[in-house]
Amino acid sequence: MKFFDLHCDTLYRAYNENKSIYKNNDFHISYEKSKRFKKYVQCFAAWIPDEYRGVNALNLFDGCIDKLQDEKKESKFNIIKTFDDFDGERCAVVTVEGGAVLGGDIQKVRYLSENNVKIMTLTWNGRCEIGDGCGEINSQGITEFGKQVVKEMESYGIIIDVSHASEKLFFDVANIAKKPFIATHSNSYSVCPHKRNLTDSQFLEIKNGEGIVGITFCSEFLNSNKNAGLDDILKHAEHFWGLGGEDVTCIGSDFDGAEVPPEINSLEKVENLYEYFLKKNYKESLVQKLFFENAYEFMKLHIK
């Protein structure tokens, strides 16, 4: 099978814990674990926690990028610079989770682009210079600086990610964005009413704007009973499909960044989830869209 994952925190963990992505490790993801896939594309996020600001945030990003480059010497991962780089069997897309990396400096958007960043999550759960994350009460939405960032990201071809955004920030972005934006790792609020999940109106906003949404394996976002399993992942996919999202719904695992169900706690177990969907009598063409094709086709249009 082929697998395209829109989000993981493995790069952050590898840098923070001084461990390898590519060799055997105790992470959800490693290069060795990916060998079972015919083709594998992984979005590796440089996560910027809310306590990082200014130069500390940028230094964290630089450390993550250096880690990825250093370990590339030992691997066969293609780091995506242009769409042609997707020709490889193992591909790494550089992303940032948290607009605090910019430190309030619009020039840093260009710096991210020069370092091959293709996606940036505008906020984490708290407030940064761009605006408010989903953890902020009485969100004020996007800031004037945030409006500049949206415009600058679009000019440099960096895809806007609204996972972690407050609802106010989300719709502010929807009103000003000129290009499709995405949610790399967010589930359905209708299935599991968690502040990190998307309401139907948010999902439809992304869908109608020709964006994509990645279903996450984070147990807390799958159900409210703390006993999530493969069936919960299926329920979120079914709900999004019911909203007309057959060409929109993808996977954004959040591997190495969240507690996930035991049945899916390793890259090696993704194939079991794929088979689970097939056993529920979904056409393989639809399952292939979910696990690979939708994300790949979106990137074909938006990474030059």
Indicate the pLDDT class of residue 48, thresholds 50, 70 and 90.
Answer: very high
- What CATH number was assigned to the domain covering residues 2-302? 3.20.20.140
H-only helix segments in the chain: 10-17, 54-72, 108-114, 144-156, 167-176, 200-208, 219-222, 230-242, 270-279, 284-288, 294-302
Mean pLDDT confidence for 231-247: 98
* pLDDT (tens digit per residue) in 170-229: 999 999 999 999 999 999 999 999 999 999 999 999 999 999 999 999 999 999 988 999
pTM of the model: 0.98
Residue (of 93, 148, 147) closest to 120 by Cα position: 93
What is the DSSP secondary structure assignment for residue 292, as one 8-state letter?
Answer: I
Q: Tell me the HSE value of 192 on the side-chain side, using a 13 A CA sphere.
A: 28
Would you list the domain boundaries of the chain? 2-302
